[in-house]
Structure 1
Amino acid sequence: MRRRLISSLVAAAVALAGLAAGSAAAQPQPGPGGGGPTSRRVCTDRHTAGKAYCLARVRTDLPARPGLLPGQQPAGLSPRDIQRAYQLPPVGGLGRRIAIVVANDYPEAEADLAVYRNQFHLPPCTTANGCFQKVYSTGVKPGTVDPSWALEAALDMQAVSASCPLCSITLVEAPTAFIVSSLIPAVDVANSLPGVTGVNGSWAIPEQPAEGSLDSHFLPGIVYTFGSGDDGGVPVYPSSSPNVTSVGGTRLNLDSRGRIVSESGWAGSGGGCSLYEPLPAFQQGFSPCATRSTPDVSAVADPDSGLAIYVSTPGNPTIGWQVGGGTSQSAPLVAGMYALAGRPGPNDRPNTYPYAHPRNFHDIVTGCAGAFCAHPGYDLVTGIGTPRGLRGLRR
């Protein structure tokens, strides 16, 4: 069986690598993205064939703070803000484990997570108490420490902590960002981990004709959350797989006291009609597309209303407390919400749940991304909408 798996991965790698350059003209060109001049992309290598890029963004108009004085709060949304925005319980998720798949090594992962959770008075999540694990997908620690991917991993882990404070977290490190030879095998490892109910991937590649050959790696009975992209109205893979939950982005609009007053679609939210994936049955009657459409659901992603995050990996332009964003933020937030909602049925595709319960979502009706605008009902900016409690994320 292992030989067949390796053969299928190699075949898919050849197809994707060969088609990446040849199909470039058929790909929609990235839109202006979101966040404007006040944020930057964390991963800048977006043009290597077959290589995924992370979807994190960070604010550039707010200086990072290496440390905080006693009683001082970092800029950005807190876990309590996320709980209020999406009507989440302050506790729950105990015993649920979310695997976060990233590329390269993040040596400071456990230490940075401890700083974040201590700041917001969340229970410790450590190797010693069994809450935190780090797994190398090949069994060998990746030889590269990439500060961009370390920041991505920090955002993922801390976003899961914000929406599901009692969830356990496993960081699965792949040796490189090449999707077929490294990241997809890391997803396979995540699938096999005891107790895992959800797998998050905050990375993407442009859609390719052979992408459907990878869909079988996303199994029934596990929640897969993938960011819909940050290029404003452009679909990406794996978000476009019919077997995953594609998570788009919104902006939380705050008043002068920092209170949430409304929510709108984010200009950078990826989405649209897939070039290659067929229309799944669960989207019939919702989607305006003849093919798979993204996103399915959304959560806050605009860096201008982003999460407070902490990262200390040397080599980052900014070290310490800063404000994150992108669908790298919304995807792990939704992963935590799914975990709060409960374990999916063993034969279920959890990305179908929101379509069965659309009334349990905030219907986002304002905001545009690329050529698409949010409107009442399902749309190609925010999907079904953003969770209003947990009912929409369970059977």
Structure 2
Amino acid sequence: MRSRPIVMIAAAAASLVLLPGVAVSAPAASAHARSARVCATPAVGFASCHALIRTDVAPLAKPGPNVTPQGYGPTDIQSAYNLAGASAAGRTVAIVDAYDDPTAEADLKVYRAQFGLPECTTANRCFKKVNQTGGTKAPRVNGGWAQEISLDLDMVSAACPSCHILLVEASSASFANLGTAVNTAARAAGVVAISNSYGGGDAADTTYGSYYNHPGIAITASTGDSGYQGGSFPASSSYVTAVGGTSLTRSATTRGWSESVWSGAGSGCSAYNIKLDAAATSDTGCAKRAMADVSAVADPATGVAVYDSTAYQGFSGWMVFGGTSASAPIIGAVYALSGNTAGYANALPYQNSAALNDVTTGSNGSCPTIQWCTARAGWDGPTGLGTPNGAAAF
């Protein structure tokens, strides 16, 4: 049975208005932007993907000379995070998701061609897709998770066009299957980072943590899209880099961009897992593991362009997405660009926080300890220590 989103997507979205000679670009930040989750609320022992689709932006079937995909593209992501010109020298970022996206490679080809990125295909050994045990028999198709997969692949490509990509598809969204897929990714040659854009309720590392315990490989996990909430596993694991979310807008600053807390960015304290030793001086206020550690763009209102042709709920083609499902693979790609993932990579940003863009405005809700939900100088729950300024912090 195919999963259903928490919020049903309207069958018809708002229409694009195209003016002669005018290109449609990134949607501006808007309090009126509408979005919906593409994955169902998870049962105990299962995860939900953290992708959000803009439902007020009509999908675009095919760009033309006077219209381009809406949402930030690779040039924007690389500019915002000072990544232009950086190279991963063929290092591999693994993406772990549930179910099968049958058009993943073809859609990735469309995305990269649209933005002038080099091809990343099975034929040139840049891209590979396997199931959770490393085989070639794909699990069943799920349209919501297919959109999640395309979002992940596109964000790795946007941040790191030189990265190789391994897609590992779990048989279901259970943590047992997703964890098996993570272990398969960790055994693959060349993998330096594994991105996990999903989560469920807080859980102890003694239950599922062994799946994410891979020193020498950067394991990123999205913190969720429900604001201040407490822990969310696997982001609440002590073994991963927990990735929160921001609203990203152009500005007249030297950087050319500004960021604030995205109101949906997940944050909180784990009830089970130990604090990160590296975070001891960051005044998190949590007795145990705090999330997030770092962040990147996640607000659907300042969302990213994604191409997916596996139709789901009436949406296919070029779409605009957000959610911490966007930020986790971006950070995974930055780890690959750094080439520095020795030991537990989640310690690195705490050791190099001056090399991050500190996010100091915005909030994701109400909480008993202010830094758990409100931005400030230094660490805060929704954005962690900040966003990439190049790869030096990683």
TM-score under structure 1 normalisation? 0.86
Residues 93, 142 of structure 1: alpha-carbon distance in 2 compared, 3 angstrom cutoff:
same
> Which residue of structure 2 lines up, in the alignment, with residue 156 of structure 1?
152
Once the two structures are TM-superposed, the CA of residue 142 in structure 1 deviates from its matched residue by: 3.7
| Distance in 1, Cα, partners of 2:312 & 2:241 | 32
Residue of structure 1 aligned with 2:226, choices 227, 231, 237: 231
Query: Which AA in structure 2 matches 1:240?
Result: S
Query: Which AA in structure 1 matches 2:375?
Result: A
Q: Secondary structure at the match of 1:313?
A: strand
> Which residue of structure 1 lines up, in the alignment, with residue 268 of structure 2?
272
> Which residue of structure 2 lines up, in the alignment, with residue 324 of structure 1?
321
- Supply the RMSD in Å over aligned alpha carbons: 1.8
Counterparts of 1:39-78 in structure 2, within 5 Å, are: 39-43=35-39, 45-70=40-65, 72-78=67-73
* 2:378 corresponds to 1:377: yes
Counterparts of 1:359-374 in structure 2, within 5 Å, are: 359-371=354-366, 372-374=373-375
Q: Secondary structure at the match of 1:114?
A: helix
* 2:279 corresponds to 1:283: yes
Residues 212, 374 of structure 1: alpha-carbon distance in 2 compared, 3 angstrom cutoff:
farther
Residue of structure 2 aligned with 1:133, choices 128, 131, 142: 128
Counterparts of 1:5-20 in structure 2, within 5 Å, are: none
| Distance in 2, Cα, partners of 1:116 & 1:162 | 9
Worse overlay, 211-220 or 123-132: 211-220
For the 8 Å contact 1:212–1:241, the answer to whether it is kept is: no
| Distance in 1, Cα, partners of 2:31 & 2:99 | 26
For the 8 Å contact 1:35–1:303, the answer to whether it is kept is: no
| Distance in 2, Cα, partners of 1:382 & 1:189 | 30
Query: Which AA in structure 2 matches 1:49?
Result: V
Once the two structures are TM-superposed, the CA of residue 253 in structure 1 deviates from its matched residue by: 2.1
> Which residue of structure 1 lines up, in the alignment, with residue 27 of structure 2?
none
Once the two structures are TM-superposed, the CA of residue 38 in structure 1 deviates from its matched residue by: 1.0
> Which residue of structure 1 lines up, in the alignment, with residue 104 of structure 2?
109
For the 8 Å contact 1:252–1:260, the answer to whether it is kept is: no
| Distance in 1, Cα, partners of 2:265 & 2:320 | 18
Query: Which AA in structure 1 matches 2:105?
Result: E
Worse overlay, 122-131 or 315-324: 315-324
Query: Which AA in structure 2 matches 1:233?
Result: Y
Once the two structures are TM-superposed, the CA of residue 233 in structure 1 deviates from its matched residue by: 1.1
For the 8 Å contact 1:114–1:125, the answer to whether it is kept is: yes
| Distance in 2, Cα, partners of 1:266 & 1:137 | 32
| Distance in 2, Cα, partners of 1:35 & 1:149 | 27
For the 8 Å contact 1:267–1:367, the answer to whether it is kept is: yes
Residue of structure 2 aligned with 1:213, choices 177, 184, 207: 207
Equivalent pairs, count: 353
Once the two structures are TM-superposed, the CA of residue 213 in structure 1 deviates from its matched residue by: 2.9
For the 8 Å contact 1:211–1:237, the answer to whether it is kept is: no
Once the two structures are TM-superposed, the CA of residue 344 in structure 1 deviates from its matched residue by: 1.9
Residue of structure 2 aligned with 1:172, choices 162, 168, 171: 168
Once the two structures are TM-superposed, the CA of residue 277 in structure 1 deviates from its matched residue by: 0.9
For the 8 Å contact 1:91–1:165, the answer to whether it is kept is: no
For the 8 Å contact 2:50–2:225, the answer to whether it is kept is: yes
Counterparts of 1:20-39 in structure 2, within 5 Å, are: 38-39=34-35
What are the superposed Cα offsets for residues 218-277 of structure 1, whole Å, 9 maximum, x if unpaired?
210000011011110123000011110000000012369xx9541101000001111111
> Which residue of structure 1 lines up, in the alignment, with residue 237 of structure 2?
241
Q: Secondary structure at the match of 1:166?
A: coil
| Distance in 2, Cα, partners of 1:101 & 1:67 | 28
Identity %: 44
Query: Which AA in structure 1 matches 2:382?
Result: V
Structure 1 gaps of 5+ residues are 1-33
Residues 155, 58 of structure 1: alpha-carbon distance in 2 compared, 3 angstrom cutoff:
same
> Which residue of structure 1 lines up, in the alignment, with residue 3 of structure 2?
none
What are the superposed Cα offsets for residues 99-139 of structure 1, whole Å, 9 maximum, x if unpaired?
10111111100000000000000000000000000011133
Structure 2 gaps of 5+ residues are 1-29, 367-372
Residue of structure 1 aligned with 2:309, choices 312, 317, 338: 312
> Which residue of structure 2 lines up, in the alignment, with residue 349 of structure 1?
344
Once the two structures are TM-superposed, the CA of residue 60 in structure 1 deviates from its matched residue by: 1.0
